[in-house]
Amino acid sequence: MPTITFIGAGSMVFATNLIGDILSYEALSDSEIRLMDIDEHRLEQTHAVADAMIDNEGLDATVEATTDRRAALEGADYVLNMINVGGTEPFENEIRIPEKYGIEQAIGDTTGPGGVFRGLRTIPTMLDIARDMEDVCPDALLLNYTNPMAIVCKAVYEATDIEVVGLCHSVPHTAEAIAEYVDVPEDELDYWVAGINHMAFFLEAKHDGESIYPDLREAYHDEETYRKDTVRFEMLRHFGLFPTESSHHMSEYVPYFRTDEDAIEELTGTNYAERMPTATYLKGWTERSEERDSPELDVDLEEVGVERSEEYAARLIHSLETDTPRRFNLNVPNHEDSIANLPNDACVEVPVFADGAGIHPCSVGELPPEIATLDQQHTAVYELAVEGALEGDRSKVHRAVKLDPLSSAACTLEELHEMTEELIEANEAYLPPLEFPGDERAAIPTAADD
């Protein structure tokens, strides 16, 4: 009977989906589930749905809810993290301040200035969670869903002894899309994927032993198909492989698509209404927050049942608990040189086998040099962001933003310096203390100071 703790369980829809996944396995249906959140109202809603799920299905699982994090973690075997630190205010700053400087972020939670600053405000709480785990459940596995994935996971394994893996659904979602584009059943598509979170690439994709890449390149020339995924088809055309993040989000990771209004309009896809707009995730987040804050629980508790989603968490736990071998794409440290031409302390997204003996990252060798270069740009940004947070080094935060591909395509170095200072000031309440070191080069004066 594993003990499974949810941190950030007030994210009701996501948390209850994952609970349903866990309870859908007979071997896990007697689990002890603990829900923790700092928002009592949202926590109560998740608790009510989880209780109804167990009662309606006649399961032996137990579920408890608490706002006491250490109590929720005590003796846990698995910890699922889905926190959001700060809510809407800092998120809006992370989108709107860069927008003033010409940096148009579609999502802004994993890359760009938005990703860097979301990481800065999330790392202190993540380290508090991990240090509590070191005290009360040191052998537990931390399954992280919180973005920015690579920054958060890297901070945890750099600063603590907790084993952490990052879980993201971009790989299976991309496999589903590719299968549609080349007209093959998704469950018959074999693939080998590696890179970093949201910037991994399908190194191989086969059906009946044959590569589907010729058909995928042919699909590029079909206007209807191309318009469903414009940016990813352009990446395929110019760099030879298909990436794992949606066109909307992928457009933020490279400097080619979001710095020119004509280009944005040209790359309009049928999935994106009139264009690939700025701040779509912020808008959705705000709307969902208002719904979650509603005093009424918009769920028929008598109808709640157990269903299994496509998320990895329950499958991973089931593999570890029952010695059932499975392969996943997970975010893990590159300590075993899973990707030989990325830094060995980077957080990489690679094939991982899981069974009763644990988690075993695979080696994919070297990425093609052009793909490795795209990923190296971001691993450098993430390293500086993590070091800036852990060391309180303001200059490294500046350098992380200045190295970001989208930011550097849109702004001058001086503009990026001013923007970063404005972001630090606006979100100071949520950030670790940040100071310039003694190095005089760090405190660059702006034009207004000259």
Q: How far apart are CA 36 and CA 7, in angstroms?
A: 5
Sign of CA dihedral 180, 182, 188, 194: negative
**Is 335 noted as a catalytic residue in this protein?**
no
- Helix runs in 67-212, H state only: 69-73, 88-100, 112-136, 149-159, 170-182
**Set 41, 47, 169, 378: catalytic member:** 169
Closest by CA position to 417, among listed 445, 383, 440: 445
Whether 319 and 308 have beta carbons less than 8 Å apart is answered as no
Alpha carbon 3 to its chain centroid, in Å, reads 24
Closest by CA position to 330, among listed 171, 440, 210, 109: 171
CA 300 to each of CA 62, 63, 245, 303, 306: distance values in angstroms, whole numbers, following the listed order: 20, 19, 34, 6, 14
Alpha carbon 173 to its chain centroid, in Å, reads 14
Whether 212 and 263 have beta carbons less than 8 Å apart is answered as no
Reported in sequence order, the residue ranges of 261-311 that DSSP labels E, i.e. its strands, are none
- φ/ψ region of 209 (left if φ > 0, alpha if ψ in -120 to 50, else beta) reads left
Whether 203 and 194 have beta carbons less than 8 Å apart is answered as yes
The H or E element that residue 32 is part of is: strand 32-36
Tokens of 150: 């690579």
Residues carrying an active site annotation: 169
